């Protein structure tokens, strides 16, 4: 499982969703949570943190956002050598299930269908950690 000090970048244009993800992560024991409300700002935060002693270790991102969608954000990340293996969890709505294949081919680690619940997030994160640390 991701260690408790993991820096987690939560990206969603909905403040309510960001707050609910933060709450679930805090309940699991994660405290180093940073937030952005679109892919563009998230990319800037990711880059800013990458040369510090606490780079982002996990991205949890919404799909539908202004300026840069979650899928575009994911593609930028996977096109950057240092982030090829950065764990990336996509938040999707139930109506988007048919598009999930696009995220999978773009290299998403896993996806979570909203609304979120704490148990699902914990299970998904454990799976993602295992996938990235075989
Ligand atoms: Mg959205």
Instruction: Find the 134 Cα to ligand 1 centroid distance in Å.
Output: 32
Instruction: Find the 100 Cα to ligand 1 centroid distance in Å.
Output: 15
Q: What is the pLDDT of residue 134?
A: 83
Instruction: Find the 82 Cα to ligand 1 centroid distance in Å.
Output: 27
Instruction: Find the 112 Cα to ligand 1 centroid distance in Å.
Output: 13
Instruction: Find the 53 Cα to ligand 1 centroid distance in Å.
Output: 30
- What's the whole-model pTM score? 0.96
pLDDT digits (tens, 9 = 90+) for 9-53: 999 999 999 999 999 999 999 999 999 999 999 999 999 999 899
pLDDT digits (tens, 9 = 90+) for 51-81: 899 999 999 999 999 999 999 999 999 999 9
**pLDDT above 90 (res 8):** yes
Sorted by where each starts, the structural domains of the chain and their CATH numbers stand as 7-132 (3.40.50.2300)
Rounded to a whole number, what is the distance in angstroms from the first to the last CA of the chain? 12
Instruction: Find the 68 Cα to ligand 1 centroid distance in Å.
Output: 11
């Amino acid at each position: 499982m991701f260690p408790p000090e993991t820096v987690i970048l939560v990206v969603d244009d909905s403040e309510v969703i960001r707050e609910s993800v933060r709450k679930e992560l805090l309940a699991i024991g994660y405290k180093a949570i940073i937030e952005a409300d679109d892919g563009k700002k998230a990319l800037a935060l990711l880059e800013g943190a990458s040369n510090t002693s606490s780079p982002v270790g996990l991205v949890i991102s919404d799909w539908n956002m202004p300026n840069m969608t979650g899928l575009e954000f994911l593609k930028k990340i996977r096109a950057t050598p240092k982030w090829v293996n950065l764990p990336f969890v996509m938040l999707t709505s139930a109506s988007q299930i048919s598009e999930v294949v696009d995220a999978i081919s773009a290299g998403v680690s896993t996806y979570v269908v909203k609304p979120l619940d704490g148990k699902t997030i914990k299970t998904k994160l454990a799976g993602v950690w295992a996938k990235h640390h075989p």
